[in-house]
Structure 1
Amino acid sequence: MGQRGSVLLLGGAGQAGSDTATLLRRRYPELPLTIAGRNPERARRVAGELGGATAVTVDLARGDLGLPAGEQYAAVVATLWDSRLNGLRFAQDHGVPYVSLSSGMIDIAPEVTAAAQRPAAAPVLMASHWAAGVITLTALAWAGEFDRVDTIRIGAILDENDAGGPAGLADLARWAEVTSAGYARRDGGFAWSGAADARVELRGLDGTTVTGQTIPILDVTSLAFATGAPDVEFAFAVGESAGTRRGDGPSVEVRVDLEGAGPAGAPLSVSRYLVHPRGQRPLTSLGLAMGIERLLGLRGDAVPPGFYTPETLLEPAHVVERLADAGTLFVDA
């Protein structure tokens, strides 16, 4: 495969980490993986189930992460919140790619600063978008049908029983504690709004509505600059999903509305749902796995040092293909 060392998955025994490791193992059977966690028993269990993987105990409070000296790693993947960013510094010190998932828009300043201060140290992928960027990439794929995009509205309905494991729940609690304000691009400007003004009603495929709100998330800025659309918003709601109502278990629905002009200049609009019957976990793990394989050069050339977001590395059409292969459904609204 060319790369030296193992892919180090911080929080690899959690939901996002273990699902991502499973996808990588399935696609690249010989890729070395290291499952790093605070609970050695859980890490060993996940590593054993994967096969060809090792388990280590990690301490995010230490600059060396508490890892044995002399070990070589091909990449560092933070699938949980690393408030000290020791995972990023460790990757920079060793000159290997780094991927983060849990910073969120409200927490990115330290990460951006650390990456900017050492731009030649390592490639850094900030994937704190919804589902690690696959929604943004899907919207960009559909935006390819337009000559000009004026408006992008995305509404994601997450099942109340599909918010993730302890790390995912902690992320949601942290973000909710910091702000209840909304965020969007309006008439070309990026602006915050109060919680009342940010409130929206999201309609699922079966017609059921759930109250949500526009949220500060990196998908807004990524889509705004990638398309030039002057109006972009991403709304989010937690409630009972259509899958749960049917008795099939938590599902996830994301509606993407695009408005603008077609190649001939005539008005054009697209409204589609992205649906996965097993919830958000397959989407997030796929986004992470695709980012890792791109950074390592498992698809395309290895990525040079720099600061990246998912849409700068991944091809929208390829992401849609992989989502479909993973069981995602695309339905016209």
Structure 2
Amino acid sequence: MGGSGQAGSGAARLLREWHPDLPLAIAGRDLGRARRVAGELGDATAVTLDLERPGLGLPAENAYSAVVAAVRDSHLHGLRYAQERGLPYLSISSGLADIAPEVVAGAQRATAAPVLLASHYLVGLVVLAAMDLAREFGRLDAVRIAAVLDDQDAGGPAALDDLERLSAITSAGLVRRGGAFTWVTGAEAEVSVPSADGVALPGQRVATLDVPSLALATGANDVHFDLAVGATASRRRGGPPSAEVLIDLAGTAPSGAPLRTRHHLVHPDGQRPLTALGIALGVERLLGLTGEPAGPGLHTPEALLDPAVAVERMTAIGATITAA
């Protein structure tokens, strides 16, 4: 779903590269555009979708092995389509603020199929990178994430709609402070976000699934995620927009000595290749193309994916993780 968009088509290209014999169905509202993407991929078909109709308007005889919502499944017809057929389902567009319908639908039919809730920043890759960096700690006390999204790299129309919708739902940020999850608003949610070149941009402490995922996966009692939208360091140097995320970890080493690390996760081509990679990794794991297929129930990226493998794949597509 949304397979002819930036994120969906990018994920499809990665899956084709990794698994040349995997049949793909590129689904979208514009059949011509879907056909162009399918033609470039090879061993792919194009189908039209109606997201507002039960069954998505697809012919009853069509059969698939998974449903990937690379566009917002606002009526949850994509999720129902998957559950009724026992198919794995992945979504990336709900966000923390409006994820409740997906959670309830997944819980109501928990034994029907695996549901991967991946509406994290970069589809969970920041969480996985932080978890990989956390391996050198004996105890992790704080995880502080600061991301810069270039305003010339916010994605296609669907991604822009998601960003506007989630911004309108709440201006509050979700944090874990002293072990308790709490909301911050107003001046407390207004923050300064450092770019990779040290320039500080005005930003917001945001409500994202990364916060509970990082807190519960690492045990850190203090977690927040800050986001600024503006020019990234690469664009200030006259280059194209990049993706920038600062991962700041604090705690103790295995020896018990205090330890703090700060790393920049950067992709020179922006957020699009990383978003596509997050989707492709999730699909690969759901289908059991690497390892065992995911079991029924609700899942998040860090529950299914190996952080070290995710970092290896990030590096393979041009991302870097360097000490700040």
Tell me whether 1:198 sits opposite 2:185 in the alignment.
no
Deviation at 1:51, TM superposition (A): 1.2
Counterpart Cα distance in 2 of 1:282 and 1:20: 8
Counterpart Cα distance in 1 of 2:38 and 2:80: 25
Q: 1:109-258, aligned counterparts within 5 Å?
A: 109-258=100-249
TM-score in terms of structure 2 length: 0.99
Tell me whether 1:292 sits opposite 2:283 in the alignment.
yes
Structure 2 match to 1:47: 38
Q: 1:101 aligns with which of 92, 97, 111?
A: 92
Alpha-carbon RMSD across the aligned residues, in angstroms, is 0.8
Residue identity matched to 1:150: D
Secondary structure class of the residue paired with 2:265: strand
Secondary structure class of the residue paired with 2:275: helix
Residue identity matched to 1:193: V
Counterpart Cα distance in 1 of 2:278 and 2:164: 23
Tell me whether 1:325 sits opposite 2:316 in the alignment.
yes
Counterpart Cα distance in 2 of 1:296 and 1:305: 12
Q: 1:277-316, aligned counterparts within 5 Å?
A: 277-316=268-307
Residue identity matched to 1:155: A
TM-score in terms of structure 1 length: 0.96
Counterpart Cα distance in 2 of 1:97 and 1:59: 20
Counterpart Cα distance in 1 of 2:223 and 2:53: 40
Secondary structure class of the residue paired with 2:62: coil
* Equivalences, count: 324
4+ aligned runs moved over 3 Å, structure 1:
none
Counterpart Cα distance in 1 of 2:302 and 2:174: 20
Structure 1 match to 2:19: 28
Structure 2 match to 1:272: 263
Deviation at 1:247, TM superposition (A): 2.2
Secondary structure class of the residue paired with 1:318: helix
Counterpart Cα distance in 2 of 1:174 and 1:79: 16
Aligned residues with identical type, % of pairs: 57
Deviation at 1:275, TM superposition (A): 0.5
Counterpart Cα distance in 1 of 2:186 and 2:287: 41
Counterpart Cα distance in 2 of 1:158 and 1:303: 31
Secondary structure class of the residue paired with 2:193: strand
Structure 2 match to 1:5: none
Unaligned runs of at least 5 residues, structure 1 = 1-9
Deviation at 1:81, TM superposition (A): 0.9
Structure 2 match to 1:61: 52
Structure 1 match to 2:8: 17
Larger mean Cα displacement after TM superposition, 202-211 or 35-44: 202-211
Q: 1:80 aligns with which of 66, 71, 81?
A: 71
